């Protein structure tokens, strides 16, 4: 591996740039990939080479062809096996690819297969981090719905600072653990031992990075199923509890558990303006119907709910008190639903910076005003009986699925 020579900022000096949609994210990502000197670490739930997604694939191949170490991890459900000819082209160029938790013959019938790699992270030369909710997927294309008339609404950030090393070490650890599992499966035991040593070294590096994160303006929050089960949810709960003026959340798949619901209701009751910008288009049965049974209590407490209808909303972002002294914002991959908060690997960047919070706030308000339809409490209460039945069925199925996994929410 070549030691990178690009300048880096001091450990306590984070610089965070907000990127809206693939139209801003992909050019920034590709620019950094084309400047990579030693390595690219990339994890994503969906890697789709349709449209502008092909530009990202081409950038990875250009980097690998000039000797950059390129590790690409995709999820076994979101992406599965990359289609030909892209899989062959990427491997021929030198891109090393691993699939996280391939489904196998029984697919999602096994509850342990519900634990997915949902985070979207890219670290380049250990200097620059990209994190957010944006997959490698064209803004104007949906794998299930085809071409879109308007771009998908989503965000990512470009970050420099000490959180980059934390992300890099975490990704390195996962990569070598996956390689070790693959080597054991193929009876390459000596390689498996070497891979586990590399994973252990990465784990020690993570601990060192975590010990250096005090006093930072920004932090990387990771959710896994071992040590960091509730880190992202606790950050939301703390920020909402400390809110004094306003909470605005944009979330694609919104099915909050009891703690989050209570936090939002209590904030609204103490005079905080709480606004939720949620998915207004029908995408999946569970996503659409299981969320609606929780709306009633929120609306009754004074929480404002807007359903985004301009296109598919895929954002997972929030801003608290953007105009206050303790402005708080987060951009990441975690939905506020059971899959993200109880089962998936997720990553969010949390930023305490007034200028950043105000920028994200302005974009959310613009989206709310341009594409959000306010949900009227009376309209919600009077929705047809058939819709209510479907809502309850979906909600019941979600609760039953959680019971199978042994989780309470």
Active site (catalytic) residues? 118, 120, 125, 314, 316, 321
Q: Quick one: three-class SS letters along 147-164? A: ECCCCCECEEEEEECCHH
Taking the C-alpha atoms of residue 155 and residue 277, their distance in angstroms, rounded to an integer, is 14
* Beta-bridge mates of residue 128: 124
Range list of β-strands (E), 177-320: 218-223, 246-251, 273-279, 304-308, 316-320
CB-based contact 341:251 (threshold 8 Å): no
Measured CA angle at 267 (ends 375, 359), to 5 deg: 75
How is residue 229 annotated by DSSP?
S
| Sign, Cα dihedral of 348, 351, 357, 360 | negative
d(CA 317, CA 272): 18
| Cα dihedral 291/294/296/298 (nearest 10) | -110
Q: What are phi and psi of 118, to 5 degrees?
A: -105, -10
- Cα 145 to its chain centre, rounded Å, is 21
Alpha-carbon gap, residue 176 to 172, rounded angstroms: 6
Q: Please measure the distance between the N-terminal and C-terminal CA atoms of the chain and give it in whole angstroms.
A: 44
Q: Tokens in use for 13?
A: 């000096």
């Amino acid at each position: 591996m070549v030691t990178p020579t690009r300048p880096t900022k001091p450990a306590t000096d984070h610089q965070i740039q907000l990127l809206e949609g693939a139209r801003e994210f992909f050019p920034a990502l590709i620019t950094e990939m084309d400047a990579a000197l030693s390595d690219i670490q990339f994890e994503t739930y969906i890697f789709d080479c349709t449209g502008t997604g092909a530009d990202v694939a081409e950038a990875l191949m250009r980097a690998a062809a000039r000797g950059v170490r390129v590790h690409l991890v995709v999820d076994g459900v979101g992406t599965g096996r990359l289609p030909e000819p892209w899989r062959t082209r990427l491997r021929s160029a030198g891109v090393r690819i691993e699939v996280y938790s391939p489904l196998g013959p029984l697919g999602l019938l096994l509850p342990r297969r519900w634990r997915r790699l949902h985070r979207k992270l890219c670290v380049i030369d250990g200097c620059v981090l990209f994190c957010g909710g944006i997959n490698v997927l064209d803004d104007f294309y949906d794998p299930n719905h085809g071409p879109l008339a308007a771009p998908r609404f989503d965000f990512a950030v470009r970050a420099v600072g000490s959180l980059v090393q934390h992300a890099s070490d975490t990704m390195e650890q996962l990569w070598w653990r996956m390689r070790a599992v693959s080597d054991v499966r193929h009876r390459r035991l000596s390689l498996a031992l070497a891979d586990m040593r590399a994973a252990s070294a990465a784990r020690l590096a993570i601990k060192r990075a975590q010990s250096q994160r005090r006093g930072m303006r920004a932090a990387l929050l990771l959710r896994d199923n071992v040590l960091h089960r509730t880190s992202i949810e606790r950050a939301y709960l703390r920020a909402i509890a400390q809110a004094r003026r306003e909470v605005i959340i944009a979330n694609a798949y919104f099915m909050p558990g009891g703690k989050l619901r209570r936090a939002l209701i209590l904030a609204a009751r103490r005079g905080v303006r709480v606004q939720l910008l949620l998915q207004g288009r029908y995408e999946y049965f569970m996503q659409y119907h299981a969320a609606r049974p929780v709306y009633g209590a929120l609306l009754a407490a004074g929480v404002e709910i807007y359903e985004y209808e301009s296109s598919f909303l895929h954002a997972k972002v929030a801003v608290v008190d953007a105009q206050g002294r303790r402005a708080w914002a987060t951009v990441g991959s975690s939905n506020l639903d059971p899959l993200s908060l109880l089962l998936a690997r997720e990553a969010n960047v949390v930023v305490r910076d007034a200028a950043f919070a105000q920028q994200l706030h302005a974009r959310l308000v613009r989206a709310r005003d341009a594409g959000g339809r306010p949900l009227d409490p009376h309209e919600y209460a009077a929705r047809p009986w058939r819709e209510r039945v479907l809502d309850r069925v979906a909600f019941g199925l979600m609760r039953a699925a959680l019971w199978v996994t042994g989780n309470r929410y």
